[in-house]
Amino acid sequence: MTEKILTFWSDNRLSGILRCGGGAAETGFLLFNAGVIHRVGPHRLNVNLARGLGAPSLRFDLSGQGESAAAPAGLGFEAQAIDDIAAAIDALKAETGVSKVIAIGLCSGADHALRAAVQYSQLDGLVLLDPYAFPNDSAARTEFKARATDPDRWSQKIRFLVEDCKEKASRPDAKQTDNDYEQGRPLPEKQVFAGDLSSVVERGGRILIVYTGLVRHCVSKPAHFFDTFSEYDFFGRIDVCAMPHVDHMFTARSAQEALLAQINDWAHSIEAVWSFSEAS
């Protein structure tokens, strides 16, 4: 595999790193920004995933981020991100000859990837890292018990409360802001998120969801996800992996290696399904 800089779209304003070579491949991967983080990803997550997948990939910056130029005025940020992903799909296919494309997105990147897959059927698969998570009583009880019986957590909580009291005493007029959202971003209605997932799987798109310790109060094992969405036909159609002891940014190299292994296993399994479907 070799890597090269690739600029694309009609005005070449989007910039990324294309990884290709090593023979023909059917499936390629897209990786892009998580929030405002450059296309390398937090702790070089995107770089390490792209180099470990053993398949063509394009990791790129969305418009106005990293090394990509800003888009002309007109579209909002979310709509522009969807258009950027569509352009990246075309560029990856044109440069490598792959017929299937899977997008990997973390946090807000997962939100962009899902919205793009709803709009564009050319996006065949999704790896959603910490997409939206919704309250689950079983997961909340499990997390409460874990916290209640962990002496280290109690000592950390006490230290936090002491420091928080000191901070508030120094800023008596400080108030909670409207930006204090669950999971760091606005949480949509559950049925909206479920509807987007359904839209993708109903047309044959494949989805792997990975939840980290950020949302272990909502999902600390796959059963919690399927319980939360029990009214939807997701079991056996969406793959879910819970990594409750891994932080949201996949800081540790061991966490990134575990994630890479999970994605590789999942990708190989769906490639086998795609090959069987095409042969039939």
162 — pLDDT class (breaks 50, 70, 90): low
Q: Does the pLDDT of residue 159 top 80, yes or no? A: no
Rounded to 10 deg, the angle between the 108-119 and 190-202 helix axes is 50
Residue with tokens 């600029």: 7
Q: What is the pLDDT of residues 170-210, one digit of tens each?
A: 554 544 333 334 567 889 999 999 999 999 999 999 999 99
Q: What is the pLDDT of residues 51-108, one digit of tens each?
A: 999 899 999 999 999 999 999 887 888 999 999 999 999 999 999 999 999 999 999 9
Exposed e or buried b per residue across 52-65, where buried means at least 16 C-beta atoms within 10 angstroms of its C-beta: ebebbbbbbbbbeb
As a whole number, mean pLDDT of residues 136-142 equals: 89
CB-CB contact of 110 with 130 (8 Å)? yes
Average pLDDT across the chain, whole number:
88
Q: Which domains does the chain have, with CATH numbers?
A: 2-136+189-279 (3.40.50.1820)
